[in-house]
Amino acid sequence: MTEMLGTLLLLSLALQARRVCGDDTAAPADEPAPKVAIPAFTPYSVPGAALWEQFAGGLEPAWKRSLATKADKAENRYDGEWAAEDVAELAGVAGDKALVAKSEARHHAISTQLGQPLDPAQGGLVLQYEVKLQNKLSCGGAYVKLLTAPLRGEFSDATPYTVMFGPDKCGEAKMHLIFRHRNPVSGEYTEHHLMQPPVPPTDSMSHLYTLAVFTNNTFSVAIDGTERRTGSLLDDFEPPVNPPKEIDDPDDTKPADWEDDASIPDPDAEKPDDWDEDAPLMVPDEDAVMPKGWLVDEPLMVEDPSAEKPADWDDDEDGDWAAPMVPNPRCESADGCGPWERPQKRNPGYKGKWAPPLIDNPRYKGEWAPRRIDNPVYFEDRELYRLSAVGGVGFELWTMQSGITFDNIYLGDSVATAAQIADDVWKPKHDSELAVHAALNPKPPAKAASAASGVLEQLRARFAEIFTSIHSFYSVLREAGPAAALREEARGAAASAMAAVGLAWLAWNVLLLARLAIGTGAAAPARAHPPAAGDSDADAATASSTARAGAGKTATKRK
Ligand SMILES: *[C@@H]1O[C@H](CO)[C@@H](O)[C@H](O)[C@H]1NC(C)=O
Q: Identify any residues that bridge with 336 across adjacent strands, giving them in sequence order.
A: 294
C-alpha span between 148 and 162 (Å, rounded): 5
**Beta strands at 294-295 and 336-337: parallel, antiparallel or unpaired:** parallel
Indicate which residue's Cα is closest to atom 9 of ligand 1.
218
Angstrom CA distances, 72 to 144, 155, 157, 173, 397, stand at: 19, 13, 8, 24, 13
Picking from 394, 326, 440, 407, the residue whose alpha carbon sits closest to that of residue 68 is 394
Q: Ramachandran region of residue 224, left (φ > 0), alpha (ψ -120 to 50) or beta?
A: left
Distance 218 CA to ligand 1 centre (A): 7
Q: Count Cα atoms within 13 angstroms, Cβ side, for 555.
A: 27
Cα 407 to middle of ligand 1, angstroms? 28
Ligand 1 centre from 383 Cα, in Å? 14
- 247 by DSSP, 3-state: which? strand
Closest CA relative to residue 139, chosen from 202, 65, 198, 72 = 202
Looking from the CA of residue 415, the nearest atom of ligand 1 is 4
For residue 180, report the distance from its CA to the centre of ligand 1, in Å.
Answer: 22
One DSSP character per residue, 112-159 reads EEEEEEE-HHHH-EEEEEEEEETT--SEEE--EEEEESSP-SS-STTS
* 421 CA distance to ligand 1 middle (Å): 21
Ligand 1 geometric centre to CA of 347 (Å): 82
The confidence score (pLDDT) of residue 98 equals 97
Q: What is the best residue among 210, 211, 215, 218 to mutate for testing ligand 1's pocket, by most ligand atoms within 8 Å of CB? A: 218
C-alpha span between 545 and 166 (Å, rounded): 25
Distance CA 92, CA 388 (A): 37
Task: Kindly list the structural domains of the chain, giving each domain's residue range(s) and its CATH number in brackets, ordered by start.
Answer: 1-32+456-519 (no CATH), 51-240+384-433 (2.60.120.200), 289-341 (no CATH)
What is the Cα Rg of the chain in Å? 44
Cα–chain center distance at 269: 59
Indicate which residue's Cα is closest to atom 6 of ligand 1. Answer: 214
Q: How many residues does the chain have?
A: 559
* Position in ligand 1 atom list of the atom nearest CA 218: 1
Structural element, H or E, at residue 71: none
How far, in Å, from the CA of 230 to the mean position of ligand 1? 10
Give the distance (Å) from ligand 1 centre to CA of residue 434: 33
Cβ atoms 539, 441 nearer than 8 A: yes
- In angstroms, the Cα distances linking 97 to 41, 43, 251, 308 are 9, 11, 61, 117
214 C-alpha vs ligand 1 centroid, how far in Å? 7
Ligand 1 atom closest to Cα of 124?
4
Give the integer Cα–Cα distance in Å for 550 and 65. Answer: 34
Q: Which residues of the chain have pLDDT under 50?
A: 1-2, 4-29, 473, 476, 485-486, 488-490, 492-495, 520-559
Which pLDDT value is given to residue 35? 73
The residue nearest atom 14 of ligand 1, judged by CA position, is 216
The residue nearest atom 3 of ligand 1, judged by CA position, is: 214
CA of 201 to the centre of ligand 1 (A): 27
CA–CA separation, 13 and 506 (whole Å)? 10
In this structure, the residue with its CA closest to atom 8 of ligand 1 is 218
Sign of CA dihedral 487, 488, 493, 496: negative
Q: What is the pLDDT of residue 412?
A: 98
Task: Tell me which residue has its CA closest to atom 4 in ligand 1.
Answer: 214
Pocket test for ligand 1, best of 210, 216, 219 (most atoms within 8 A of CB): 216
Which stretches does DSSP call E strand in 217-322?
218-223, 226-232, 237-238, 246-248, 263-265, 282-284, 294-295, 301-303
Please count the other Cβ atoms lying within 10 Å of the Cβ belonging to residue 219. 24
What is the pLDDT, as a whole number, of residue 183? 84
Interior angle at CA 232, CA 228 and CA 238, nearest 5: 95
Name the closest-CA residue to atom 5, ligand 1: 214
Ligand 1 atom nearest to 232, measured from its CA: 13
Atom of ligand 1 nearest to the CA of 217: 1
Separation of 412 CA from ligand 1 center, angstroms?
A: 17
CA distances from 76 to 81, 109, 145, 170, 336 (A): 14, 12, 19, 19, 88
Q: Are residues 382 and 217 in contact, defined by beta-carbon separation less than 8 angstroms?
A: yes
Q: Is the peptide bond before 239 cis (omega within 30 degrees of 0)?
A: yes
Instruction: Please give the span between the terminal C-alpha atoms of the chain, in angstroms, as a whole number.
Output: 43
Q: Which long-range contacts (CB under 8 A, 24 or more apart) does 182-189 make?
A: 182/388, 183/243, 183/377, 183/379, 184/379, 184/381, 185/376, 185/377, 185/378, 185/379, 186/377, 189/160
Residues within a 6 A CB radius of ligand 1: 214, 216, 218
353: left (phi over 0), alpha (psi -120 to 50) or beta: beta
